[in-house]
Amino acid sequence: MPDSLLEVQDLGIRFGGLHAVRDVTASLPAGQITAIIGPNGAGKSTFFNLISGFYQPTSGRIRFAGEDITRLKTHEVVSRGIARTFQTTTIYKELTVLEGVMIGHRVRTRAGLFDALLRTGRERRDQAESHAGAMRALERVGLAAQAHLPAGALTQEGQKRVGIAMALASDPRLLLLDEPAAGMNPEETVNLMALIRELVAGGLTVALVEHKMSLVMGLADGIVVLHHGQKIAQGTPQQVSRDPAVVEAYLGS
Ligand code: ADP
Ligand code: MG
């Protein structure tokens, strides 16, 4: 077994009476693709929100690369090397693709916008860095040639790639993808799978939430199954697809 890059232990969060994620213990092996699956409302996006610091857990711990990151804020988590995409990416259609990635990157890595407003020397240096970082990210997702087009001119698939580039701009070690293939046709889905494989070949560790079973089964090294906030199974795609508890969770939902 490869070392795990991320480990969560007894992780949980309550929203009032609702235990959206409950006592989840799981690890993400370095250099692998782990799929998080489960019926709607199972807690998959909430799980990502916990790992990425958007939500503070009400119980449990999160360790990343040996460091306890349980209480870190979003931009601190990003700076440690965890980036995410969202189920719906906000694309600024009037901006260029490059500007969109730069802004998406800044919004998630800066604690405030004061620097941007004050136009300090540090701000100008950051601007140059973020321009270079955004271009590198666009190259990784195959959009370098479209960098100066209005983002609104891209296809649905192109806009999804912009969302991935926004996450890659912070140069993460772990990338969390929330339903990356949603709204994609079969050909686009195959292209996305190839992109994810390339990113992993380049050293990235990936966790993804996805409903498309062709993608999950064809891409994931391991699968974690959530149901009503709890982990009900974990294993290879073959193991999980034969697990009676998993079949039951999907049929019963
Ligand atoms: P999934 O991504 O697996 O479809 P979610 O993680 O989005 O599910 O949601 C899990 C449960 O937590 C749902 O019942 C949802 O309504 C609830 N939930 C998620 N976020 C919040 C929130 N901020 N406040 C209250 N309830 C929430
Ligand atoms: Mg979700």
**Ligand 1, atom 14: closest residue by C-alpha:** 41
148-158 pLDDT, tens digit per residue, is 999 999 988 89
Asked whether residue 198 falls in the same domain as residue 214, the answer is: yes
Q: Is 149 exposed, middle or buried (0-12, 13-18, 19+ CB in 10 A)?
A: middle
- Tell which atom from ligand 1 comes closest to the C-alpha of 38: 3
Ligand 1 atom closest to the Cα of residue 44 is 3
Ligand 1 binding pocket includes 1 (Cβ within 6 Å): no
Q: ipTM beyond 0.90? A: yes
Pick the atom of ligand 1 nearest to 229's CA.
Answer: 10
- Number of structural domains, the chain? 2
| Residue 103 domain flag | yes
Q: Which residues of the chain have pLDDT under 50?
A: 111
Residue nearest to atom 26 of ligand 1 (CA): 15
101-114 pLDDT, tens digit each: 988 766 555 545 55
Do 93 and 104 touch, CB atoms closer than 8 A?
Answer: no
Same domain for 180 and 165: no
What does the pLDDT read at residue 93? 79
CA distance 76 to 70: 11
Find where tokens 């980036």 sit: 83
**Across the chain, which distance is largest between two alpha carbons, in Å?**
60
Q: Atom 27 in ligand 1: which residue has the minimum CA distance?
A: 15
What is d(CA 62, CA 201) in angstroms, rounded to the nearest whole number?
25
Atom of ligand 1 nearest to the CA of 178: 2
End position of a domain, from candidates 171, 205, 231: 171
Q: 50 C-alpha vs ligand 1 centroid, how far in Å?
A: 12
Residue recorded with tokens 């959206």 = 20
Query: Quick one: 77 and 182 in the same domain?
Result: yes
The sign of the torsion formed by the CA atoms of 22, 61, 106, 152 equals negative
Q: Are residues 49 and 108 in the same domain?
A: no
**Cα of 46 from ligand 1 centre, angstroms:** 6
Look at residue 83 and give its three-state secondary structure: strand
Nearest to 7 by CA among 29, 38, 35, 39: 29
Cα 252 to Cα 131: distance, rounded to the nearest angstrom: 49
Q: Is 87 domain-assigned?
A: no
Instruction: Note the pLDDT of residue 253.
Output: 55
Q: Tell whether ligand 1 has an atom less than 6 A from the beta carbon of residue 41.
A: yes
Q: How far apart are CA 185 and CA 144, in angstroms?
A: 23
Q: What is the CATH number of the domain that holds 232?
A: 3.40.50.300
Is 39 a pocket residue for ligand 1 (Cβ < 6 Å)?
Answer: no
Q: Which of 241, 207, 184 is nearest to 45 (CA)?
A: 207
The answer on 150 and 99 residing in a single domain is: yes
Looking at the structure, do residues 181 and 161 belong to the same domain, yes or no?
A: no
pTM of the model as a whole: 0.91
25 CA distance to ligand 1 middle (Å): 19
Q: Is residue 127 classed exposed, middle or buried when 0-12, 13-18 and 19+ CB atoms within 10 A define those classes?
A: middle
The 3 state secondary structure assigned to 110-127 is CCCCHHHHHCCHHHHHHH
- Of 171, 200, 215, the residue at which a domain comes to its end is 171
Give me the residue label for tokens 């969202």: 86
Q: Is 86 inside a domain boundary?
A: no
Q: Are residues 42 and 76 in the same domain?
A: yes
Task: Give the residue numbers spanning the domain of 132.
Answer: 92-171
Same domain, 76 and 96: no
253 lines ligand 1 (CB under 6 A): no
Ligand showing the shortest atom-to-Cα distance for residue 87: 2
